[in-house]
A and B are shown apart, each in its own frame.
Chain A
C-alpha cells in the first residue's frame, strides 16, 4: 500500500506531462521541403466571359498539397498582351486571387479569347484553361488627368523652345495607347536641353491618402530607330498656392507658361529616361519625387497629394551642338516622348492589381 502511495504521484505527473504536448509546429513544413507535389483542388476560373468595362473580375481557385511558388499567366490570343499573377502558398484563394482585366505587359487586352496557364516553380505540371473577354478594361479607375480623347484638358498650356527646328506637340490618332488619341511630344533642338512641355492644372483636394500611396501613372511612347539616346521626360508636380497662370506674359515663342513651377515654389520632380520601343505605362508613388530646389528660401517641402495644383510634363534631351555639347553623337536626331492616359491612382499603381 505504501509503495502505491509513492507510485501514484509519479503517474499523476506523467498524466500532467502528457497534457503539455502542443499542437504546433517548429520550423518550415517538411512536406513543403520534401513532399511530392500534387493538386488537391482543381484549377477553377469563376467568370469565363468577363466584361471588364463594366467592372467584372475573374476569380481563380486551386489547391496544392504543399506551399509552392505558383504563377498564373493570361495571354491574349489577338493582342498578345500578358498578365501574370504569382504567389507562394498552398492555396489559390478565389477571394484573394482575382483579375480585373489589366495587363503586366503592353499592349492592353482587347475583346478577345485568352489562354490561362497555371505553372509551378521546379514542377513540370501545367494547368490550362481559356476565357473570353467580352469587354476590355478602360483603366478609368482613378483620377484621370488627360486621355486626349477630346483634345487637351481645360487650362492646359503647351509650349516649346523658340526657334525649334522640328516639333510634334499636337494631338494625334495614329497610334494611341488607349482610345483614339494621344499627345505627340517631340522634336529636335540640337543646342539646348528643353524641347517642349505640357502644363496641366489640377485640383486634388479630395485626396486623403499620403504620398506613399498616391501614384502617378503615365503612358509613354517612343521608338528605338535612330532615336536620340539622351532623351527623357521630366515630370514636375507643384503644390504651389499661386494662381496657375496669372502672368499672361508669353515666352519668346509666344506661348503661355504656368506660373507654379518656378524654383521658388514647392515643386517636386522626377526624371524618366526614355529609351525603349513602343508604349509603356510607368507608375511612380508621389513619395519618390525629389524636391526641385531643396534650398529654396521660404519654401517648406511637405508632400501632400491633396495640395497638388499642377503637373508639368516636359520633353527634354541632351544637347548635341552649341555651347554645351554633351551628346555629339545625337546631332540632328529626333526626340520622341509621346504620352497618353495620365491618371492618378490611390493605394496602388494602375497595373498593380
Chain B
C-alpha cells in the first residue's frame, strides 16, 4: 500500500509544487482538498443455532479521495477526484484500487454564462428532479451520522441532488421594467450509455434533459417553469423499445413579511406523460404503448418567525395515479428481492436469504441506488408507506402539516403530520387512507445547566397508519412505528459518550404491489406483518475538529418476526464492532 501511495502522491506533490511555482508567475492555481477514511467492522453472529456461517467476520479499508482543483484561468476550474482505496487483508499492493471518481470542468464565460461539463449534481423541484432522503433517516439527530455520512458520500447523495454526467449551463437577466429577473438553467445528461445485454442485444442510450426558467416578477411574486425528459434513443441500441417520460411543471410563489413572520404561499402544478416506443415492428411502422398521463397540484403555505425560532408549513397536494416522473420518483433504496444483503446474506441452517432489516438500510452501501428508474421501484411498507416516492408519490391526495421550533438553543422540536387518501383504489374500489404522525424532541441539558460540555437527549417517534375499508379480503390495517432515542454526553473535551436505539415495530396486513416492466400492476402479494427491527448502539466519538472525528461503537441489531407458531423461527440478531476515522481535508 505504501508503495502505491508513494507512486501516486509523489508525482502529485511534485505537480502541485510545480503548479504552485507557476501560479506565482501567472494566475494559474492548483489546490487540493478531499477526504480520508479508515473503516473497520467486525460482525458477530448472534444466533447460535446458525451453524453454517462463520461466527464472526471482519472487514475494513483505508481510502483517500484526493480532489484536485486546477484553475488555468480565474473563471475556469478543472476538477478531478482520485480515489486510492486499500482493502484490509490484501497482499501488499494487490488489494489497492486507484479510481477516478469524479471529473468535471466548470466555469463562467464572459461573466454571464455558467457551465459545468462532466460529473454534475442536479436538482430541480420535488416533482421533476429530486433525490428524496431514504426512509428511516428522518429525525435521527445525527445518531447514526458515521453510517449516514458514508452512505451519502459513497452514493453521491448531496443536497437531494442526483449525480449525473453531462452538460449544464445557467445564466440570468435583469430588467428594469415589467419583471425584475429572469434566470435560465438547462442541462443534458446521459444516465446510462448503450450496453450489451446479450450476445446480440444492446440497450439504447438513456438521456435526461431539462430546463428551468425562474422569474422574479415583483419583490414578492416569483414564477417558475420546469421541464424534464427522460428518454432513450432507439437508434443507439437494437432493442426497439424505448421509454419517453417528459414532465412539465409550473409554480407561483408569493412571499411577504407580516409582523414578525415571513410568509410564503406556493402554488405549483404540472403533468407528465410516459410511454414506450416500439419501433421497427414487423409491419414497418412505429407505435407507442403503455401510455400514461397524470397531473399533480400542490398548494403550500409557510409561516416562519424572523429569528427562525418557529416554522410552520401547511399544504395540500394531489398527485394523480398516473403521474410518472423518473427524476423525482426514483428511490434511493430498491426493495427488489434479488438484491442480497452484504452482511450475512443468508441465515438459518436452511440457508435462506436474510430479509433486509433497518440495520441493512442504515449501513449497507450496496443496497443504495444511483440510477434513475423509468418505472416505480419496489418498497417495503413497514419502512415507508405513506409517501414511498416522496412528495411525488402517485395516487395520493390530502394535506400535510409540519412545524419546527427552537427554544433558546435548549429545546429543538419538529412535528410532521399528514393525511392522504388514494385517488383510485388498488385491486378494489375501496381506497387506502394514510396517516402520518411524527415528532422529535432534542433537549440540550448542558444549556439548562449552563455547562460548557455538550449533553443532549433526543427522542423521536414516527408512526404511519394505513387502513382501507371493505370486505374481509379488501380491508387492511398496517401500523408501523419508528422510535429513536439518543444520548450524547461529552465526558471529556471533544470525547463523547453515545448511547442510542432505533426500533421499528410493524403489525397488520398490507398488499405489496407487483408491477411488470412497463409499470402495470400485475399482482398483489398479501403480507401479514408482525415484526420488530432493532438497533442498539453505544460508543465513543472523538471529535478532533469539525471535520475530523474518530468513532468507535458497538451495535446490537436484528429482527424479531413474532411468528405465532414458532416465536423464534427466522428471527435473527447480530452484533458489530465498528471503528471509523474520518478526515475531511
With beta carbons under 8 angstroms apart, the residue of B297, B423, B526 that contacts A22 is B423
A23 within 8 Å of B (CB atoms): yes
A352 within 8 Å of B (CB atoms): no
A21 close to B431 (CB less than 8 A): yes
A33 close to B523 (CB less than 8 A): yes
Q: Which residues of A contact B423 (CB under 8 A)?
A: 20-22
B399 within 8 Å of A (CB atoms): yes
B251 within 8 Å of A (CB atoms): no
Question: Quick one: closest A residue to B429, CB to CB?
Answer: A25
Q: How far is the CA of A288 from the CA of B59 in the complex (A)?
A: 67
Shortest Cβ distance from residue B427 to the other chain A in the assembled complex, whole angstroms:
4
B466 within 8 Å of A (CB atoms): no
**1/0 per residue B503-534: CB within 8 Å of A?**
00000000101000000011110100000000
* A17 in contact with B318 given A27-B524, A28-B524, A30-B524 (CB within 8 Å): yes
B399 close to A14 (CB less than 8 A): yes
With beta carbons under 8 angstroms apart, the residue of A20, A21, A28 that contacts B521 is A28
A10 within 8 Å of B (CB atoms): yes
Q: Which residues of A contact B522 (CB under 8 A)?
A: 27-28
Q: Which of A20, A30, A33, A34 gathers most chain B CB within 10 Å?
A: A30
B425 within 8 Å of A (CB atoms): yes
B473 close to A30 (CB less than 8 A): yes
Q: Which residues of A contact B426 (CB under 8 A)?
A: 25-27, 30
Q: How far is the CA of A229 from the CA of B395 in the complex (A)?
A: 64
Q: Which residues of A contact B521 (CB under 8 A)?
A: 26-28
Q: Which residues of A contact B341 (CB under 8 A)?
A: none
A13 within 8 Å of B (CB atoms): yes
B397 close to A33 (CB less than 8 A): no
* A25 in contact with B425 given A9-B299, A17-B318 (CB within 8 Å): yes
**1/0 per residue A23-64: CB within 8 Å of B?**
111111111011110000000000000000000000000000
A18 close to B397 (CB less than 8 A): yes
Q: How far is the CA of A30 from the CA of B317 in the complex (A)?
A: 27
Q: Which residues of B contact A20 (CB under 8 A)?
A: 318, 320, 397, 423
Which of B433-487 touch A at CB < 8 Å?
471, 473-474
- What is the number of contacts between chain A and chain B, taking CB atoms within 8 Å? 87
Shortest Cβ distance from residue B579 to the other chain A in the assembled complex, whole angstroms:
48
B425 close to A31 (CB less than 8 A): no
Q: Which residues of A contact B398 (CB under 8 A)?
A: 17
Q: How far is the CA of A22 from the CA of B521 in the complex (A)?
A: 17
Shortest Cβ distance from residue B400 to the other chain A in the assembled complex, whole angstroms:
11
Q: How far is the CA of A22 from the CA of B263 in the complex (A)?
A: 34
Q: Which residues of B contact A28 (CB under 8 A)?
A: 427, 521-524
B428 close to A25 (CB less than 8 A): yes
Q: Which residues of B contact A31 (CB under 8 A)?
A: 427-428, 471, 473-474
B301 close to A29 (CB less than 8 A): no
Which of B336-366 touch A at CB < 8 Å?
none
B166 within 8 Å of A (CB atoms): no
Shortest Cβ distance from residue B570 to the other chain A in the assembled complex, whole angstroms:
23
* A26 in contact with B425 given A17-B318, A21-B431 (CB within 8 Å): yes
Question: Quick one: closest A residue to B300, CB to CB?
Answer: A10
A30 close to B474 (CB less than 8 A): yes
Shortest Cβ distance from residue B324 to the other chain A in the assembled complex, whole angstroms:
13
B415 within 8 Å of A (CB atoms): no
Shortest Cβ distance from residue B417 to the other chain A in the assembled complex, whole angstroms:
15
Shortest Cβ distance from residue A93 to the other chain B in the assembled complex, whole angstroms:
22
Q: How far is the CA of A24 from the CA of B322 in the complex (A)?
A: 12
Q: How far is the CA of A25 from the CA of B524 in the complex (A)?
A: 13
With beta carbons under 8 angstroms apart, the residue of B314, B397, B427, B431 that contacts A29 is B427
With beta carbons under 8 angstroms apart, the residue of A9, A16, A21, A25 that contacts B427 is A25
Q: How far is the CA of A27 from the CA of B522 in the complex (A)?
A: 6
A23 close to B429 (CB less than 8 A): yes
Q: Which residues of A contact B474 (CB under 8 A)?
A: 30-31
Q: Which of B316, B395, B397, B522 gathers most chain A CB within 10 Å?
A: B316
B299 close to A29 (CB less than 8 A): no
A33 close to B524 (CB less than 8 A): yes
Question: Quick one: closest B residue to A24, CB to CB?
Answer: B424
Shortest Cβ distance from residue A135 to the other chain B in the assembled complex, whole angstroms:
46
With beta carbons under 8 angstroms apart, the residue of A6, A21, A30 that contacts B428 is A30
Question: Quick one: closest B residue to A9, CB to CB?
Answer: B299
B424 close to A26 (CB less than 8 A): yes
Q: Which residues of B contact A35 (CB under 8 A)?
A: 471, 473
Q: How far is the CA of A35 from the CA of B511 in the complex (A)?
A: 13
Q: How far is the CA of A33 from the CA of B431 in the complex (A)?
A: 17
Q: Which residues of B contact A14 (CB under 8 A)?
A: 316, 399
Q: Which residues of B contact A6 (CB under 8 A)?
A: 263, 265, 301
Q: How far is the CA of A158 from the CA of B424 in the complex (A)?
A: 70
Shortest Cβ distance from residue A281 to the other chain B in the assembled complex, whole angstroms:
35
Shortest Cβ distance from residue B304 to the other chain A in the assembled complex, whole angstroms:
14
Q: Which residues of A contact B222 (CB under 8 A)?
A: none
Shortest Cβ distance from residue B225 to the other chain A in the assembled complex, whole angstroms:
21
B524 close to A21 (CB less than 8 A): no
Q: How far is the CA of A15 from the CA of B429 in the complex (A)?
A: 21
Q: Which residues of A contact B424 (CB under 8 A)?
A: 21-26
Which of B134-183 touch A at CB < 8 Å?
none
* A10 in contact with B299 given A17-B318, A22-B424, A34-B473 (CB within 8 Å): yes
Which of A68-95 touch B at CB < 8 Å?
none
Q: Which residues of B contact A22 (CB under 8 A)?
A: 321, 423-424
B421 within 8 Å of A (CB atoms): yes
Q: Which residues of B contact A29 (CB under 8 A)?
A: 427-428
With beta carbons under 8 angstroms apart, the residue of A10, A21, A33, A34 that contacts B301 is A10
B397 close to A17 (CB less than 8 A): yes
A21 close to B421 (CB less than 8 A): yes
**1/0 per residue A103-144: CB within 8 Å of B?**
000000000000000000000000000000000000000000
Q: How far is the CA of A29 from the CA of B429 in the complex (A)?
A: 9
Q: Which residues of A contact B314 (CB under 8 A)?
A: 10
Question: Quick one: closest A residue to B421, CB to CB?
Answer: A21
Q: Which residues of A contact B429 (CB under 8 A)?
A: 23-25
* A21 in contact with B397 given A9-B299, A26-B321 (CB within 8 Å): yes
Q: How far is the CA of A10 from the CA of B423 in the complex (A)?
A: 19
B316 close to A33 (CB less than 8 A): no
Q: How far is the CA of A35 from the CA of B471 in the complex (A)?
A: 9
Q: How far is the CA of A22 from the CA of B294 in the complex (A)?
A: 13
Q: How far is the CA of A344 from the CA of B314 in the complex (A)?
A: 74
**1/0 per residue B272-292: CB within 8 Å of A?**
000000000000000000000
Q: How far is the CA of A27 from the CA of B376 in the complex (A)?
A: 14
Q: How far is the CA of A35 from the CA of B470 in the complex (A)?
A: 12
Shortest Cβ distance from residue A46 to the other chain B in the assembled complex, whole angstroms:
31
Q: How far is the CA of A14 from the CA of B426 in the complex (A)?
A: 22
Q: Which residues of A contact B316 (CB under 8 A)?
A: 10, 13-14, 17
In the complex, 7 of the A-B residue pairs with CB atoms within 8 angstroms, ordered by the A residue number, are A6-B301, A10-B316, A25-B426, A27-B521, A28-B522, A28-B524, A34-B473
Top 6 A-B residue pairs of the complex, sorted by shortest distance between their CB atoms? A27-B521, A30-B427, A17-B318, A22-B424, A35-B473, A17-B397
Q: Taking beta carbons and an 8 Å cutoff, which residues of A are in contact with B?
A: 6, 9-10, 13-14, 16-18, 20-31, 33-36
